[in-house]
Amino acid sequence: MTTRLPAAVLWDMDGTLVDTERYWMAAEEELVGSFGGSWGHDDAIALVGSGLWEAAAYFQAKGVDLDADEIVSRLTARVREQLDEHGVPWRPGARELLQALREASVPTALVTMSIRSMADDIVGAIPFEAFDVIVTGDSVDNAKPHPEPYLSAAAELGVDIADCVAIEDSPTGLASAHASGAIALAVPNFIPLDGLPAGALWPTLDGMTVDDVAALLTAREVTA
52's CB contacts (< 8 A; 6+ apart) are: 71, 72, 75, 76, 113, 114, 115, 137, 143
Opening angle at CA 216, ends 210 and 222, nearest 5: 135
Phi, psi dihedrals of residue 143, rounded to the nearest 5°? -80, 165
Give the pLDDT of residue 224: 61
**Which is nearest to 149 in space by CA: 54, 27, 24?**
54
Phi, psi dihedrals of residue 105, rounded to the nearest 5°? 65, 30
Radius of gyration of the chain (CA): 17
How many Cβ atoms are within 10 Å of 136's Cβ, its own excluded? 20
CA distances 62 to 77, 156, 187, 220, Å, are: 20, 38, 30, 43
**Half-sphere exposure at residue 22, Cβ-oriented, CA atoms within 13 angstroms:** 11
Is the Cβ–Cβ distance between 167 and 11 less than 8 Å? yes
What is the CA 167 to chain-centroid distance, rounded? 7
Give the pLDDT of residue 219: 86
**Of the CATH numbers 3.40.50.1000, 3.40.50.150, 3.80.30.20, 3.30.70.100, which one belongs to the domain with range 8-19+90-223?**
3.40.50.1000
Give the pLDDT of residue 221: 76
> Checking phi first, is residue 187 left (phi over 0); if not, alpha (psi -120 to 50) or beta?
beta
pLDDT in 10s for each residue of the chain, 224 residues: 446 899 999 999 999 999 999 999 999 999 999 999 999 999 999 999 999 999 999 999 999 999 999 999 999 999 999 999 999 999 999 999 999 999 999 999 999 999 999 999 999 999 999 999 999 999 999 999 999 999 999 999 999 999 999 999 999 999 999 999 999 999 999 899 999 999 999 999 999 999 999 999 988 877 76
Bond into 188 cis (ω within 30): no
CATH class given for the domain over 21-86? mainly alpha
Phi, psi dihedrals of residue 78, rounded to the nearest 5°? -70, -40
End-to-end CA distance of the chain: 13
**Strand ranges inside the chain, DSSP E:** 8-11, 108-111, 133-135, 164-168, 183-186, 200-201
Opening angle at CA 115, ends 114 and 118, nearest 5: 85
Task: Give the start-to-end residue ranges of the domains of the chain.
Answer: 8-19+90-223, 21-86
